[in-house]
């Protein structure tokens, strides 16, 4: 190969970004606003020996570029950037450091932390102001030119569920199948396993429509985890924004095979009507704060890629809690994010994104802006306009809590729903004081947050547990966190997370405690699935999965973080399936318009809140201390649609209810105490069992 490399690089084109085969060669384009020169470094196929260096042409509008004739897919390369090394001004150029192309479609090598990955001398008294001249190429990750993929198979016929029909299932690719007995051992923990018939059968039986996958882009472990022999299991530390993570594939050492397996997984899920949404981390990179390494972005143009402290450009702005913050307000960084998103939709076939720490994407010099340029670009993009957009609407910066402020068709994680539902059903056991009014507001899609600017109830993504925090089983089994295995002396993870153990910490054989936990857990699941808005199940909650009270299992790539199929609660799984079926069957349980007052018009529905004695709730009722049971009646403007009555009783004792006139049939008793399809007596009274949610339908 050494002899076949051309003597010089041709000028090439300044677009598209990255390395792309064309016209009998490969075109390279890389952004840097402040570099003086960028070199393309070509390696042998193993990435161990540097064969030749070429200076790229440019810059052309901030892009260095070149065309290498006579080569093609399989070419391994890295970049070296020359420019000022003035950390105090935000410039961190160091040509001794081989840099990974941010737009790499394939990455070769196994990353390990080493001192020479830093642009400065570790341990030097001047810290980052010192300059390290060691070459890190031997240990650096390299990019490999990939075969052009074209459009993902079957993408144009992919399912597209209407917002009102979506039921999300947040799931970790590896954790779902690693201990699944119905999936061949060779596949467990992989993309292929998620598309195995046993997995698909579970998703279909459960009634979910859309898998929300924890990060699958190429991630590396943080140095403090590597030092402890732990890994970043969740993967919120992305380095390769165009590459599926090989750790989740069956053939880890072949990047092309990893990509093919991911595409096949998406196509198989699509064939069964299931959508795929990716959790993406466009808010920070593994390069950390100003003391971090120089792996890619920092070495190419630190001042453009990252937000720096305005009056001290030697320091990174840390709005993410991870050391650095991508500067998405920069046009080229915004372009990079949009290019990456388009790649995952067009070439990889996915159906949408959940944006981690999403306020970062809308941060300008004036704080978070719902009308930031990035959001405008995202919403008008012809390809991205078709997919689901979900925000985690908080980051770690000033005024970082932005629930309800994202634009247009964004859906948003609603943690106020989680806290209200947990507080209402756990009650005094968790020292929680949640009023009927707060619970009712969250149950009806949080109009105080989302009823503005043409947004609909489905904008509220409702959840009671997610990957970050306790599992639902642990919410009702532990009074405090048990994170010692993370190696941080139980200091990590959220303190004071709403939970209750009902008398015993952790597992117990006490039948009374077990019954209480079961009732509360089922009541919370029923509230989640039947509330207005978009429900999101945490994978494993339908099995009764526990993490032993660990509420921050991000580094637990073991039985703690994997789903426990051997101990799965089949009855609970059937219960969740019944809930999603009920939600589908009853139009008023997924009514994606705000409830209004009669008379209304076609397509409208009305809601009346009732006290247990059957009278309408008044202002003083909402604030009455000591009584938390109440009911809601939902009626459609269309008389052909059956009305519904939901009874909520979080109390430790059964609660008699006086029902509105008419005939009512029981559709659901979350406690399982009453006979199914029980019809109410003519007297119009029904006693709701302790800690239960009941649904009745007019007949």
- Tally of CB atoms within 10 A around 423: 20
How far is C-alpha 292 from the chain's CA centre? 25
- Tally of CB atoms within 10 A around 566: 9
Handedness of CA 138, 140, 145, 151 (dihedral sign): positive
Which residue carries 């008023």 as its tokens? Answer: 588
The structure tokens listed for 205 are: 């039986």
Give the whole-angstrom CA distance, residue 647 versus residue 315.
55
Backbone angles phi, psi at 285, to 5 degrees: -130, 170
The catalytic site residues sit at 356, 392
Task: List Cα–Cα distances, 25 to 4, 51, 72, 591, 603, in angstroms.
Answer: 12, 17, 6, 55, 58
Give the whole-angstrom CA distance, residue 676 versus residue 664.
13
Instruction: Describe the crossing of helices 436-443 and 415-426 by its angle, rounded to 10 degrees.
Output: 140
Beta pairing partners, 656: 687
The structure tokens listed for 246 are: 């090989």
Cβ(592)–Cβ(165) below 8 Å: no
SS3 25: strand
Question: How many CA atoms are closer than 13 Å to the CA of 128, on its beta-carbon side?
Answer: 21
Among candidate residues 292, 345, 301, 353, the one with its CA nearest the CA of residue 327:
301
Which residue carries 């299991």 as its tokens? Answer: 233
How far is C-alpha 523 from the chain's CA centre? 25
β-pairing, 411-414 vs 460-462, is parallel
β-pairing, 692-698 vs 644-649, is antiparallel
């Amino acid at each position: 190969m050494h002899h076949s490399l051309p003597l010089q690089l041709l000028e090439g084109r300044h677009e598209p970004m990255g390395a792309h085969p064309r016209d009998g060669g490969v075109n390279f384009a890389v952004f840097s606003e402040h570099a003086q020169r960028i070199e393309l470094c070509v390696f042998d196929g193993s990435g161990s020996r540097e064969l030749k260096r070429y200076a790229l042409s440019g810059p052309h509008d901030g892009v260095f570029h070149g065309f290498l004739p006579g080569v093609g897919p399989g070419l391994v390369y890295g970049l070296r950037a020359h420019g000022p090394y003035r950390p105090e001004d935000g410039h961190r150029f160091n040509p001794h450091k081989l840099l990974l192309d941010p737009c790499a479609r394939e990455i070769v090598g196994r990353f390990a932390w080493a001192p020479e990955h830093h642009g400065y001398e570790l341990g030097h008294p001047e810290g980052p102001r010192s300059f390290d001249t060691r070459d890190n190429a031997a240990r650096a990750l390299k990019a490999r030119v990939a075969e052009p993929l074209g459009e993902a198979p079957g993408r144009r016929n992919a399912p597209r569920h209407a917002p009102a029909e979506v039921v999300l299932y947040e799931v970790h690719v590896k954790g779902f199948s690693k201990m699944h007995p119905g999936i061949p051992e060779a596949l467990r923990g992989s993309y292929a396993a998620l598309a195995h018939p046993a997995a698909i059968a579970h998703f279909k039986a459960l009634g979910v429509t859309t898998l929300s996958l924890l990060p699958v882009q190429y991630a590396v472990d943080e140095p403090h985890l590597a030092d402890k022999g732990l890994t970043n299991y969740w993967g919120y530390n992305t380095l390769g924004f165009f590459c599926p993570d090989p750790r989740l594939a069956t053939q880890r050492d072949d990047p092309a095979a990893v990509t093919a397996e991911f595409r096949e997984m998406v196509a198989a899920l699509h064939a069964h009507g299931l959508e795929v949404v990716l959790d993406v981390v466009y808010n920070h990179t593994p390069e950390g704060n100003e003391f971090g390494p120089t792996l890619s972005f920092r070495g190419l143009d630190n001042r453009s890629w990252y937000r720096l402290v305005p009056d001290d450009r030697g320091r990174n702005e840390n709005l993410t809690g991870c050391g650095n913050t991508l500067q998405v307000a920069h046009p080229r960084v915004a372009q990079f994010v949009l290019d990456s998103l388009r790649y995952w939709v067009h070439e990889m076939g996915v159906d949408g994104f959940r944006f981690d720490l999403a306020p970062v994407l809308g941060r300008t010099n004036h704080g978070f802006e719902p009308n930031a340029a990035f959001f405008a670009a995202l919403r008008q993009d012809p390809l991205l306009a078709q997919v689901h957009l979900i925000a985690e609407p908080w980051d770690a910066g000033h005024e970082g809590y932005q629930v309800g402020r994202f634009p247009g068709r964004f859906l948003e994680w609603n943690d106020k729903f989680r806290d209200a539902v947990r507080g209402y059903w756990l009650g005094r056991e968790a020292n929680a004081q949640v009023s009927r009014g707060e619970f009712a507001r969250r149950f009806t899609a949080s109009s105080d947050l989302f009823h503005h600017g043409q947004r609909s109830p489905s904008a509220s993504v409702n959840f009671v547990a997610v990957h970050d925090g306790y599992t639902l089983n642990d919410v009702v089994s532990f009074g405090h966190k048990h994170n010692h295995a993370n190696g941080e002396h139980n200091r990590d993870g959220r303190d004071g997370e709403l939970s209750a153990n009902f008398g015993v910490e952790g597992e117990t054989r006490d039948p009374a405690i077990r019954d209480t936990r079961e009732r509360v857990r089922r009541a919370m699941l029923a509230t989640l699935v039947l509330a207005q808005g978009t429900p999101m199940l945490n994978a494993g909650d339908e099995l009764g999965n526990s993490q032993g009270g660990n509420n921050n299992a991000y580094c637990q790539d073991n039985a703690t973080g994997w789903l426990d199929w051997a101990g799965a609660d089949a009855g609970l799984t059937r219960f969740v399936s019944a809930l999603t079926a009920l939600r589908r069957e009853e139009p008023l349980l997924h009514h994606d318009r705000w409830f209004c007052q009669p008379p209304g018009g076609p397509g409208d529905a009305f809601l009346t809140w009732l006290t247990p004695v059957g009278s309408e709730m008044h202002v003083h009722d909402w604030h009455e201390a000591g009584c938390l049971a109440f009911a809601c009646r939902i009626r459609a403007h269309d008389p052909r649609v059956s009305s519904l009555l939901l009874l909520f009783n979080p109390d430790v004792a059964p609660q008699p209810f006086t029902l509105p006139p008419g005939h009512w049939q029981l559709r659901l008793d979350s406690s399982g105490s009453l006979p199914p399809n029980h019809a109410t007596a003519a007297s119009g009274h029904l006693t709701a069992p302790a800690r239960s949610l009941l649904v009745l339908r007019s007949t």
